[in-house]
C-alpha cells in the first residue's frame, strides 16, 4: 500500500458549457502520452457525481514530483466563459467534493489537502482561492 501524504485538488480547465468526464479526461491524457490513461484518482462532475479514475493503489499522473505519495482529485470546470481561471464549482460539486475529501481524510488522516498551484505556483489550477483554508477542518 502506498503512503499518502497529500491530496491534491485540480480542475479540468474547461468552460461551464463544456464537459469533462473520466472517459473524456482519459482520452485527453492518452493523447498527451499518458500510457495508463487518466492521471487523476477521482473526478467530481458538476451534478455532484463522483467518478473513479485511477485506483487509489496506483500512482497517479497529476502533479509532477508528487504523484508517488498523493491522491489526485479533479473537479469539472475551472474556466469562465472568457477562458479565464475561475472557481466554477456548483453547489452540488462543492458538497460532493467535501464528502469525498472527508472520506479520503478518514482513510489518510495525515495527508494534507492542497491545490495544484500550492505545489506548482505556475499553475492557476484548481482556481480555488485557498484550498488549505476551505478545507482547514480536514487538515491533519
- In the set 11, 29, 40, 74, the catalytic residue is 40
CATH code of the domain covering residue 110: 3.40.80.10
- In the set 11, 74, 125, 127, the catalytic residue is 125
pLDDT in tens, 111-127: 999 999 999 999 999 99
Q: Which residue carries 495544484 as its cell?
A: 116
Active site residue 10: yes
What's the confidence (pLDDT) of residue 73?
A: 98
How far is it, in rounded angstroms, from Cα 73 to Cα 60? Answer: 10
Average per-residue pLDDT for the chain: 96
How far is it, in rounded angstroms, from Cα 44 to Cα 47? Answer: 8
The rounded percent of the chain whose pLDDT value lies above 90 is 97
Active site residue 116: yes
Active site residue 29: no
Stated length of the chain: 140
- In the set 41, 62, 105, 116, the catalytic residue is 116
Q: Is the pLDDT of residue 1 over 80?
A: no
Question: b vs e for 110-136, b when ≥16 Cβ sit within 10 Å of the residue's Cβ?
Answer: ebbbbbbbbeeeebbbbbbeebeebbe
The answer to whether residue 49 is domain-embedded is yes
Average pLDDT, stretch 72-76? 98
Domain count across the chain:
1
Range of the domain at 96: 6-138
Q: How many CB atoms lie within 10 A of CB 83?
A: 10
**What is the pTM (predicted TM-score) of this model?**
0.96
Active site residue 41: no
The answer to whether residue 100 is domain-embedded is yes
The answer to whether residue 1 is domain-embedded is no
The answer to whether residue 39 is domain-embedded is yes
Amino acid at each position: 500500500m502506498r503512503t499518502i501524504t497529500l491530496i491534491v485538488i485540480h480542475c479540468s480547465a474547461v468552460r461551464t458549457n463544456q464537459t469533462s468526464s473520466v472517459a473524456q479526461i482519459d482520452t485527453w491524457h492518452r493523447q498527451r502520452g499518458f500510457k495508463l490513461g487518466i492521471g487523476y484518482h477521482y473526478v467530481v462532475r458538476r451534478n455532484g457525481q463522483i467518478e473513479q479514475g485511477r485506483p487509489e493503489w496506483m500512482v497517479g499522473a497529476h502533479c509532477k514530483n508528487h504523484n508517488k505519495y498523493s491522491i489526485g482529485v479533479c473537479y469539472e470546470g475551472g474556466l469562465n466563459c472568457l477562458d479565464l481561471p475561475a472557481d466554477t464549482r456548483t453547489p452540488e460539486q462543492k458538497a460532493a467534493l467535501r464528502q469525498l475529501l472527508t472520506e479520503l481524510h478518514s482513510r489518510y488522516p495525515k495527508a494534507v489537502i492542497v491545490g495544484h498551484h500550492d505545489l506548482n505556483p505556475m499553475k492557476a489550477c484548481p482556481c480555488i482561492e485557498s484550498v488549505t483554508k476551505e478545507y482547514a477542518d480536514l487538515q491533519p
